[in-house]
Chains A and B, each alone.
Chain A
């Protein structure tokens, strides 16, 4: 396998000198950094889009001397591979970002929660962390700053999509089944080992050094009013150039399709299996928190694809990955899969399908965590946006 090189972008792929961000950050106070971060309006890149400055401010404000900064590299959303690229080719950014984070929230411990599938990256990452320790960018009294000690440990995931959800991730770090917790309390107050913890996505960290160096104002001018900066999009499916692209928020779906060489496109799944599927008539919508919000997964389907096959694949994924803790998600996903199979065979009644849609909407409200709250999205959006195709299938044969 290979990662392709020569990517270009306005922030993350703009080039960076190792250690630069940390040097600048340590000349500032944690309050200054929080200020710049608030100015930048950076929102979490893991999918939920929570303002990073708020999360860090809350963690920084707790008085507990033991705090944790956790980098979420579980990257399990189907179609997402940007964190893989960051952690193999741009890890300077990610770990410099983590050190700056540790300084800002006054944490001593950083944890990289790396999905088990990425275990092959460990030797290179360990070597890099060792280099940082040698260069005094990690460890005790970083860059001579006496009371700033921070180190990073790698913990591996064990093959469970749900462990990307931050409270399930913490459960698994603590040695339990990856089952999401009730919130509150939020991890910023009671996270890993009951201590204040900030969980942030890999890409979120990769933005930090640039915000510190160039300022929050500069960053906030990129993208749109509500979605500032750039986003890494993991593009795969029916196109000539599947890869990771850095584009400003606000880019239209049609612009992206043009860029990646997609032809005869019928549908685009935005946001992975738990995202939504949009038809051609909506390709002028923009990728932004205020319109099509996404953790970056873009899957392209051309005219030759059967939307129900795609939906079935998504539903099988959720049936397998539901942790089984709460009923709406455990049972609901099975029912939606059964419904999809009925549609494929053409053996359904509209009354039953309408009931399933209602079930989907109920799951979105009643499920305990984000998995069950978002898993009905492809079912609902494909049935809505591809009505003609979906309801005529079994009939034609």
Chain B
């Protein structure tokens, strides 16, 4: 990484610490903010957060690795999360999954080469009455069919 890039990251993390405070309970809101804006929390950012909150970097990593909505690895601009729990499973999740894989040309757990889409499974997201359901970043889409899911992805693209 270029030194200027590093400095920019340090500055950004510093601003987040100002916004959320430097107590331990600010850790997750800070990480959520980084994740929201950059889709992952890099090693360097984790170290910076640790330094500014005065905790060990391992503590930060242990948190990042615990929560499924935080990621230490680079992700796509759009994270597609399809629900894999029972109501969605019974109402046709498998077909929707296949259609999405075909459309994006990747498997679940993967990211497209252009870093635009990451495909993941998630657990029950509280939309069982309108299953199958998925999220793209924060947005929820329900009552999916293979066609509808592909259409939604096309619109996002």
Binding site for B on A (CB under 8 A): 1-2, 75-81, 83-84, 115-120, 155-161, 172-178, 193, 234-238, 242-244, 269, 273, 299, 301, 305, 309-310, 313-314, 316-317, 320-321, 323
Contacts and interface: CB of A to CB of B under 8 A. Distances in A.
Question: What 10 A-B pairs are tightest by C-beta distance, nearest first?
Answer: A159-B69, A175-B27, A236-B128, A158-B67, A159-B68, A242-B129, A78-B124, A1-B142, A177-B66, A175-B24
B86 A310 contact: yes
Nearest to A75: B126
Contact of A178 (B66, B122, B143): B66
Contact of A81 (B28, B122, B129): B129
B87 A236 contact: yes
A242 B86 contact: no
Given A78-B86, A174-B25, A234-B128, A158 B123 contact: no
Nearest to A79: B128
B138 interface: yes
Contacts of A310: 86, 90
B62 interface: yes
Given A78-B86, A161-B123, A155 B129 contact: no
Given A158-B69, A158-B70, A175-B63, 9 more contacts: A1-B142, A78-B124, A119-B138, A160-B67, A174-B25, A193-B25, A244-B129, A299-B128, A305-B90
B129 A236 contact: yes
Interface string B70-101: 10000000000000111101100000000000
Contact of A76 (B70, B123, B130): B123
B135 A117 contact: yes
Contacts of A117: 122, 125-126, 135, 140
Contacts of A299: 86-87, 128
